[in-house]
């Protein structure tokens, strides 16, 4: 498949991100929400979608059914897990004596989702056991499950509005998603053949329902699947036969800036082959995936700050990561001192130099005004509570970094629509020439050369 016009769909991780969407969503091609977010916050999610995707704006929206969360996975210690622990959390309840006790149970959002969709999710929750791939050898169960998942995506927002006294009158005009996803599961590396069969069956059964929206499949797997030639060949042959109009790739562990040439070449090849018969998206993609639009990648989705890659296994119990500054020239985030360390050598001495050589988005123009030392505002630190032992990035600094990133991503999207492969490669070469020799950056810029070779070949 030759070049296609790229699309960027912003993924909302929580309603705390609403401000970013309100101010920038018009620059992008759609919004995607996880069904767990919808079930955790039904009213807020439905009203948000009416606002962004309603009659006035008609922004395409997508509901990720999150069915993979009810399957098995391999945890951080390489153990195969089928206890669904990844959708549980520590909760507190009052005992009869009035004391509080902690216990571990399913998150309310996933329990709610299982209640809405029904089998086999309900039984998985009741038994506390992941759904095995063999469950979808049963054609009757597979069909009813697909119908429930598709109907959920088509009707859930309307249902929520109908139950709300304030929004009831708008229920009939509730926006419908741009596409519906077939149920999907993580192609567990301990049983990849059976899971691939299940995912293909679920896609076929969903398209057979002929819903009122195009059906898209999702291919969620460990990045090592990319080098499993027999399975890739099977997917390339059989995914188009499911009649799905699109596929969303999610290769867990595949970080565009860290992946080696062979994995990225396998991704490019897969995109080229699949895009001959369907739209291909990267569910958690970054700039490289955007550039792969020159080879058929129809779109990418990602969050507002960090989320251009996402592991299947959720990250639990870590402190809030610093939102680093997205350096537009190299399409990667860096800490403030790493960038500031380059100023002298790159001849950046004034705010104007900064705007000419680093970034001239409205955020940067508003922050770096009197001196290049103003750049510090993107990394500003504080003690979040009086008892905090460590300093952490201030919420304002994180917000600046996120807005700056979103404005740059929108700029990249616009540019990519008309750029040629030679333009993209040329920019990468220029970035490597300018930033590559910088001592504080050079150990982290090896990907620029890898991307250049990948895109040029």
Partner 1 sequence: MASFERESLLYPLVADYKRQKSFQLQAPEMQFYEYRIDLFGFSPTLNLSVSVELKLNNWRRAVEQALLYQLCSDYSFIALPEPIVKRVNLDLLSSHGIGLIAVGAAGLCREVLGAAQSKVVRAFYRDAYIDLLQRRQ
**The one among 19, 75, 115, 373 contacting partner 1 by CB under 8 A:** 373
- The answer to whether 148 touches 118, Cβ cutoff 8 Å, is yes
Distance of closest approach, residue 398 Cβ to partner 1, in angstroms: 12
Q: Nearer to partner 1 by C-beta: 128 or 337?
A: 337
d(CA 457, CA 442): 24
Site track 319-358 with partner 1 (rule: CB under 8 A), x = hit: ---x------------xxxx-xx-xxx-------------
Distance of closest approach, residue 37 Cβ to partner 1, in angstroms: 29
Residue 221: closest CA among 248, 197, 251: 251
Q: Nearer to partner 1 by C-beta: 262 or 337?
A: 337
Distance of closest approach, residue 353 Cβ to partner 1, in angstroms: 14
Q: Nearer to partner 1 by C-beta: 7 or 324?
A: 324
Q: Nearer to partner 1 by C-beta: 210 or 319?
A: 319
Indicate the SS3 state at residue 393. Answer: strand
Q: Please identify which residue in the block is written with the tokens 């040029």.
A: 456
The verdict on 148 binding partner 1 (CB under 8 A) reads no
Q: What does the block give as tokens for 155? A: 């009707």
d(CA 216, CA 32): 14
Distance of closest approach, residue 343 Cβ to partner 1, in angstroms: 8
**The one among 105, 163, 439, 456 contacting partner 1 by CB under 8 A:** 439
The verdict on 379 binding partner 1 (CB under 8 A) reads yes
Q: Please identify which residue in the block is written with the tokens 């599961």.
A: 185
Site track 90-129 with partner 1 (rule: CB under 8 A), x = hit: ----------------------------------------
Distance of closest approach, residue 19 Cβ to partner 1, in angstroms: 24
Query: Which of positions 282-311 make contact with partner 1 (CB under 8 A)?
Result: none
Beta bridge partners of 334: 325
Q: Please identify which residue in the block is written with the tokens 């249902």.
A: 159
Q: Nearer to partner 1 by C-beta: 257 or 452?
A: 257
Q: Nearer to partner 1 by C-beta: 79 or 390?
A: 390
Q: Nearer to partner 1 by C-beta: 269 or 440?
A: 440
DSSP string, 243-304: T-SEEEEEEET--TTT--HHHHHHHHHHHHHHTTTSEEEETT--HHHHHGGGGTEEEEEE-S
Q: What does the block give as tokens for 268? A: 């490019």
**The one among 320, 350, 371, 453 contacting partner 1 by CB under 8 A:** 371
Indicate the SS3 state at residue 119. Answer: coil
- Binding segment (CB under 8 A) for partner 1, from list 13-21, 30-38, 194-202, 370-378: 370-378
- The answer to whether 71 touches 134, Cβ cutoff 8 Å, is no
Distance of closest approach, residue 441 Cβ to partner 1, in angstroms: 10
d(CA 79, CA 204): 31
Distance of closest approach, residue 359 Cβ to partner 1, in angstroms: 18
Residue 82: closest CA among 71, 98, 66: 71
E strands of 6-145, at which residues?
Answer: 7-12, 30-34, 61-64, 73-74, 80-81, 88-94, 100-106
Distance of closest approach, residue 447 Cβ to partner 1, in angstroms: 17
The verdict on 318 binding partner 1 (CB under 8 A) reads no
d(CA 80, CA 241): 31
How far is residue 447 CA from its own chain's centroid?
21
Phi, psi of 187 (to 5 degrees): -75, 90
**The one among 391, 396, 414, 430 contacting partner 1 by CB under 8 A:** 391
- The answer to whether 355 touches 346, Cβ cutoff 8 Å, is no
Distance of closest approach, residue 396 Cβ to partner 1, in angstroms: 15
Q: Nearer to partner 1 by C-beta: 196 or 393?
A: 393
Element (H, E) at 146: helix 139-163
Catalog residues that contact partner 1 under the rule CB under 8 A: 322, 335-338, 340-341, 343-345, 371, 373, 376, 379, 381, 390-391, 439-440, 443
């Amino acid at each position: 498949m030759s070049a296609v016009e790229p699309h960027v769909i912003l993924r909302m991780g929580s309603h705390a991100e609403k401000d970013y969407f309100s101010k920038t969503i018009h620059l992008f091609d759609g919004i995607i929400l996880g069904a767990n977010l919808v079930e955790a916050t039904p009213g807020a999610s439905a009203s948000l979608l009416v606002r962004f995707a309603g009659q006035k704006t008609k922004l395409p929206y997508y509901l990720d059914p999150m069915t993979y969360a009810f399957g098995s996975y391999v945890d951080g210690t390489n153990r195969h897990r089928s206890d669904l622990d990844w959708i549980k959390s520590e909760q507190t309840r009052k005992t009869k004596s009035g004391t509080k006790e902690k216990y571990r149970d399913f998150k309310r959002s996933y329990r709610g989702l299982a209640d809405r969709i029904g089998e086999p999710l309900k039984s998985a929750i009741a038994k506390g056991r992941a759904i095995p791939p063999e469950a979808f050898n049963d054609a009757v169960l597979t069909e009813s499950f697909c119908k429930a998942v598709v109907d959920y995506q088509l009707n859930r927002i309307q249902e929520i509005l109908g139950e709300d006294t304030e929004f009831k009158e708008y229920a009939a005009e509730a926006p419908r998603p741009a596409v519906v996803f077939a149920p999907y599961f993580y192609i567990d590396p301990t049983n990849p053949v059976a899971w691939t069969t299940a995912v293909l069956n679920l896609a076929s059964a969903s398209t057979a329902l002929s819903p009122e929206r195009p059906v898209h499949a999702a291919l969620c797997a460990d990045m090592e699947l990319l080098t499993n030639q027999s399975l890739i060949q099977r997917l390339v042959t059989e995914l188009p036969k499911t009649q799905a109009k699109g596929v969303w790739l999610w290769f867990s562990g595949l970080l565009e800036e860290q992946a080696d040439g062979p994995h990225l070449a396998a991704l490019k090849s897969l995109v080229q082959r699949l895009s001959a018969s369907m739209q291909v998206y990267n569910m958690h993609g970054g700039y490289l995936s955007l550039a792969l639009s020159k080879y058929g990648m129809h779109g990418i989705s990602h969050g507002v700050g960090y989320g251009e890659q996402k592991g299947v296994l959720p990250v639990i119990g870590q402190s809030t990561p610093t939102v680093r500054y997205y350096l537009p020239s190299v399409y990667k985030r860096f800490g403030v001192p790493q960038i500031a360390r380059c100023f002298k050598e790159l001849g950046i001495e004034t705010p104007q130099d900064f705007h000419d050589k680093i970034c001239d988005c409205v955020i940067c123009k508003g922050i770096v005004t009197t001196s290049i030392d103003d750049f510090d505002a993107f990394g500003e630190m504080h003690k979040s509570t009086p008892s905090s032992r460590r300093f952490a990035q201030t919420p304002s600094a994180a917000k600046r970094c996120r807005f700056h990133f979103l404005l740059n991503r929108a700029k990249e999207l616009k540019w990519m629509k008309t750029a040629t492969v030679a333009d993209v490669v040329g920019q990468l070469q220029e970035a490597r020439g300018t930033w590559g020799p910088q001592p504080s950056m050079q150990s982290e810029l090896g990907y620029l050369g890898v991307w250049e070779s990948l895109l040029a070949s």
